[in-house]
Structure 1
Amino acid sequence: MNQLVRQLSQQEQLNFLLTNRIPRRLATQFMGWFSRIESPLLTRCSIALWRLFAGDLDLEEAQTQQFNSLQACFTRELKRGARTVDTHPDIVTSPCDAIVGARGRIMGTTLFQAKGFPYELSDLIPDPALQEQYRDGVFVTLRLTSGMYHRFHAPADCTLQRIIYISGDTWNVNPIALKRIERLYCKNERAVLPLETGHADSALCLVPVAAILVASIKLHCLDTALDMNYRGPQRLNCNVSLRKGDELGYFQHGSTIILFASGNHQFRPDTETGSRIQMGQALLQRHAGADHFPPTPKTA
């Protein structure tokens, strides 16, 4: 048993060193360039290697299994009907396919990326009004692995009128790094998407966080991708109405989305930490008398 523990510890250390001690910006830029090369043969070979080392790539639900580039595979669309969206008006659905990470109540304005690693809303979201809006609210971290479906969708009927973009680093956001690097999400490139639902007691906000090999967030309401080459304004205006399940955008690779909700939301019982969830499945339920939340912090 002690030998197994030592082996796992060594594997974690190697993973951490390989993904976080390399030149992250250069690796991400290279991956961006490489993934855009249009060559069916090169793409097939790359996907085979990806499957060999990552092991979680499943293309059975993809609209097509023939790709001209690795980026086309990363950003693939699903077959019609591959996901079912819970349409109940009091249900907030998962915006993406993911593994449920840390979740729970926000303690004032403090939340957790992993056990023992707190951070402040102000460090993640540079908007005082939003910080107050989610004081004592709830949060859930949704981790998209490299092989998962990378598109994300509206978790409720809503409008999106502004986007806040924060440039930053490209640390890996896997569980090993989350246990070792404080305030990791607050260091990385990210976008803040306040979603107006039309209900005063149902505020929602998505924060897609980029990571190594991924630093590109494409939102359909913007003409340009938000990535390391972006030099535009930090605050971008838009005006788009979305039905629950409508596509908002996609990552170029796997990463993380943090979902915030006002304090009168409850977690659905089948969304335990470490569980897998698909886009469209019930994640939270709005309830005026909600007084029960799972303990914080928890981590995948």
Structure 2
Amino acid sequence: MIKIYNRKTKEYDIEKVSGEKYLKWIYSSSIGMTLLEIIIKKKLFSSLYGKYCDTKTSSKKIKNFVEEFDINMDESITAINGFKSFNDFFTRKLKAIYRPVNLDKNIFISPGDGRISAYENMDLQKIIQVKGLYYSLEELIGSKKIADKFKNGVCLILRLCPTDYHRFHFVDNGTCEEVKKIKGNYYSVSPIALNKIPKLFCQNKREWSIFHSENFGDILYIEVGATCVGSIIQSYTPNKCVSKGHEKGFFKFGGSTVILFLQQNKVNIDQDILEQTKLGYETKVIMGEEIGDKL
């Protein structure tokens, strides 16, 4: 059972997990772990499933998925019967009215929908995956020079579930450099997997780029792939000015993660998010929502 903090009700919601029984079996049984290492974590497995989700046949899954996870289709620009495939539905765009962006230059917003954890004054050699499991930023991106820029800064981990809106956005006006791609495995990024696989984010496929923001300094964006994520699609144009809330990219089918590293003394993260992280809980947020302010 995964509990998520609800900022509006100030209570904990129980997360509905897509394929929960499958995930528990895979990451808890000896047979499941064997299959994971031989087949499931491999690129071919996720690529094949991703290709299926691009087919017209896969669109038959949409209605049951929407009903099972109570997805609000009023938010979607496209009606439920207007999608060409499951991936078309999965990467759906939403009406702007449902994801208002706080344009105050002093307000720091969430880059996407999901469940967020926040860590201040980061020890770059001991970034928390879950309690007892750690990794370093240099291992994550493969660059000590870039990693050192974020010493004692803030780390934000936004976990997206298959039920979430799967587009991620820029948190401020600015320009973003070209993305660097790192090949890797395709482990699940659910808490079930994070508790079992050491340095999971450092093992999975990931992409990273430096965003030069107008109001919050340089920001390191990292997008991490996961089981059955067909692709990480970067939709922005490198080194071209973007506005706050502008789309950076999206994930095709699967749970995924966006990690942001902020420089020291640039942003105050909201206290409720920090407190819930210390208690071991993620906080539910949506794209454009205030999660901090400028120092």
Give the TM-score of the pair, scaled to structure 1.
0.79
User: Structure 2 CA distance, aligned partners of 1:209 and 1:164?
Assistant: 12
**Displacement of 1:38 after TM fit?**
2.4
User: Structure 1 CA distance, aligned partners of 2:251 and 2:291?
Assistant: 21
User: Structure 1 CA distance, aligned partners of 2:101 and 2:263?
Assistant: 21
User: Cα RMSD (Å) of the superposition?
Assistant: 2.4
Comparing 245-254 with 30-39, greater Cα deviation is found at: 30-39
User: What aligned pairs does 1:149-164 form with structure 2 within 5 A after superposition?
Assistant: 149-164=165-180
Residue from 34, 37, 40 that aligns with 1:23: 40
Secondary structure in structure 1 of the residue aligned to 2:201: helix
What's 2:261 paired with? 260
User: What aligned pairs does 1:188-207 form with structure 2 within 5 A after superposition?
Assistant: 188-198=204-214, 202-207=217-222
User: Structure 2 CA distance, aligned partners of 1:244 and 1:109?
Assistant: 31
User: What aligned pairs does 1:119-130 form with structure 2 within 5 A after superposition?
Assistant: 119-130=135-146
User: Structure 2 CA distance, aligned partners of 1:183 and 1:137?
Assistant: 20
TM-superposition CA deviations, 1:78-125 (whole Å, max 9, x none): 013111111221222111001113634311442111111111011001
**Displacement of 1:20 after TM fit?**
3.9
Correspondence 1:213 to 2:228: yes
Secondary structure in structure 2 of the residue aligned to 1:242: coil
User: Structure 1 CA distance, aligned partners of 2:134 and 2:230?
Assistant: 24
What's 2:15 paired with? none
What's 2:246 paired with? 246
Mark the CA change 1:101 to 1:14 in structure 2 (over 3 Å): closer, same or farther.
farther
Mark the CA change 1:49 to 1:193 in structure 2 (over 3 Å): closer, same or farther.
same
User: After the TM superposition, which segments of 4 or more aligned residues of structure 1 sit over 6 Å from their partners?
Assistant: none
User: Structure 2 CA distance, aligned partners of 1:251 and 1:100?
Assistant: 17
What's 1:285 paired with? 293
Correspondence 1:275 to 2:286: no
User: Structure 2 CA distance, aligned partners of 1:31 and 1:11?
Assistant: 16
Comparing 56-65 with 162-171, greater Cα deviation is found at: 56-65
**Displacement of 1:50 after TM fit?**
3.0
CA contact (8 A) 2:236 2:247 kept: no
* Structure with higher helix content: 2
Correspondence 1:170 to 2:186: yes
Partner amino acid, structure 1, of 2:291: L
User: What aligned pairs does 1:1-300 form with structure 2 within 5 A after superposition?
Assistant: 13-14=24-25, 16=27, 17=32, 20=36, 22-24=39-41, 25-39=43-57, 42-43=58-59, 45-51=60-66, 55=69, 57-65=71-79, 66-101=82-117, 103-198=119-214, 202-221=217-236, 238-253=238-253, 254-264=255-265, 265-271=267-273, 272=276, 273-287=281-295
User: Structure 1 CA distance, aligned partners of 2:243 and 2:136?
Assistant: 31
User: Structure 2 CA distance, aligned partners of 1:266 and 1:247?
Assistant: 24
Unaligned runs of 5+ in 2: 1-20
User: Structure 2 CA distance, aligned partners of 1:69 and 1:276?
Assistant: 28
CA contact (8 A) 2:208 2:223 kept: yes
User: Structure 2 CA distance, aligned partners of 1:171 and 1:12?
Assistant: 10
User: Structure 1 CA distance, aligned partners of 2:245 and 2:89?
Assistant: 21
TM-superposition CA deviations, 1:40-73 (whole Å, max 9, x none): xx51x31244347x62543231111221111100
Partner amino acid, structure 2, of 1:266: N
Question: Matched residue pairs, number?
Answer: 259
User: Structure 2 CA distance, aligned partners of 1:12 and 1:131?
Assistant: 32
Mark the CA change 1:285 to 1:58 in structure 2 (over 3 Å): closer, same or farther.
same
User: Structure 1 CA distance, aligned partners of 2:233 and 2:121?
Assistant: 29
CA contact (8 A) 1:74 1:252 kept: yes
User: Structure 1 CA distance, aligned partners of 2:268 and 2:23?
Assistant: 34
User: Structure 1 CA distance, aligned partners of 2:230 and 2:204?
Assistant: 9
User: Structure 2 CA distance, aligned partners of 1:142 and 1:246?
Assistant: 17
